[in-house]
């Protein structure tokens, strides 16, 4: 059902676990299945210098979370904001159609975290 890249991220997720001193932490749930992701970002001068996550979800959600964290580490918040779930799916080499929605949870978490950070800075949230 899953390709090798997806299985590798599922079995050996990158950036998994809690972070001691994050700039922002968010928890989001999938509206489709109720699975959840907790995302920790450490941001310095609008650059994501560290990222970690904990996902309670299916293999596709865990693989997407892992891949997404790899794609935003070292990036500006603007670059991370522009990362879509389909970018993550493409980087994973594809997901089965019924599992595409599982990649949305990571995009939601990243965007929510960035807007928490922006609000904290007294800035307007992005839409």
Which residues are designated catalytic? 33, 102
CB of residue 36 to ligand FES, shortest distance in Å: 9
Q: Which stretch binds ligand FES (CB under 6 A): 11-19, 55-63, 84-92, 112-120?
A: 55-63
Determine if 57 is a binding residue for ligand FES (CB under 6 A): yes
* Cβ proximity to ligand FES, 49 vs 86, nearer residue: 86
* Cβ proximity to ligand FES, 31 vs 119, nearer residue: 31
Determine if 61 is a binding residue for ligand FES (CB under 6 A): yes
CB of residue 42 to ligand FES, shortest distance in Å: 25
CB of residue 26 to ligand FES, shortest distance in Å: 16
Q: How far is CA 103 from CA 2, 49, 65, 127, in A?
A: 14, 22, 7, 19
């Amino acid at each position: 059902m899953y390709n090798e890249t997806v299985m590798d991220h599922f079995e050996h997720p990158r950036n998994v676990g809690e972070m001691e001193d994050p700039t922002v932490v968010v928890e989001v749930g999938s509206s489709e299945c109720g699975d959840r992701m907790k995302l920790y970002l450490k941001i310095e001068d609008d650059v994501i210098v560290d990222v970690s996550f904990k996902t309670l979800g299916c293999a596709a959600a865990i693989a997407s979370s892992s891949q997404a964290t790899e794609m935003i580490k070292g990036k500006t918040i603007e670059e991370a904001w522009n990362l879509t779930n389909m970018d993550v799916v493409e980087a994973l080499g594809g997901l089965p159609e019924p599992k595409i929605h599982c990649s949305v949870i990571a995009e939601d978490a990243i965007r929510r975290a960035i807007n928490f950070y922006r609000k904290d800075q007294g800035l307007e949230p992005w839409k």
